[in-house]
Amino acid sequence: MHAKLNLGFTSSIMTVAAAALAAFIALGILSTVVSLFQSRGAPMERLAAAERACVSRAYQLEREACMKQWLAQSAATDVAHQ
């Protein structure tokens, strides 16, 4: 005896519907991730620029203080331009 359920044409419709739903969910997740990266990209860009600006500091504490100062000045400049 075979325990396989044979739905015929209905199984192909279900397969297409499942594939469409999976594609829709995947696109939703992808668009959410992309929007999160875009919205948080500017602060990371400023942090990277601050690291490059303070690379000459020998000690970690000096480098962190320099980066905080650079970021504060950068934020103040951005507010002044708006």
pLDDT tens sequence across 1-33:
556 666 555 678 889 999 999 999 999 999 999
Tell me, yes or no, whether 62 lies in a domain: yes
Instruction: Please list, in sequence order, all residues whose beta carbon lies within 8 angstroms of the beta carbon of residue 50, skipping any fewer than 6 positions away.
Output: 66, 67, 70, 71, 74
Q: What is the pLDDT of residue 58?
A: 86
The pTM of this model reads: 0.45
Tell me, yes or no, whether 2 lies in a domain: no
Q: What is the pLDDT of residue 46?
A: 85
User: Residue 43 and residue 39: Cα distance in Å, rounded?
Assistant: 9
Tell me, yes or no, whether 41 lies in a domain: yes
pLDDT tens sequence across 51-72:
899 999 889 999 999 999 998 8
Tell me, yes or no, whether 33 lies in a domain: yes
Tokens matching residue 74: 């950068």
Question: By residue range, what is the domain housing residue 73?
Answer: 9-81
Tell me, yes or no, whether 16 lies in a domain: yes
Q: Count structural domains, the chain.
A: 1
Whether 40 and 57 have beta carbons less than 8 Å apart is answered as no
Tell me, yes or no, whether 48 lies in a domain: yes
Q: What is the pLDDT of residue 82?
A: 53
User: What number is the average pLDDT over the span 34-51?
Assistant: 80
Tell me, yes or no, whether 21 lies in a domain: yes
User: Residue 26 and residue 32: Cα distance in Å, rounded?
Assistant: 10
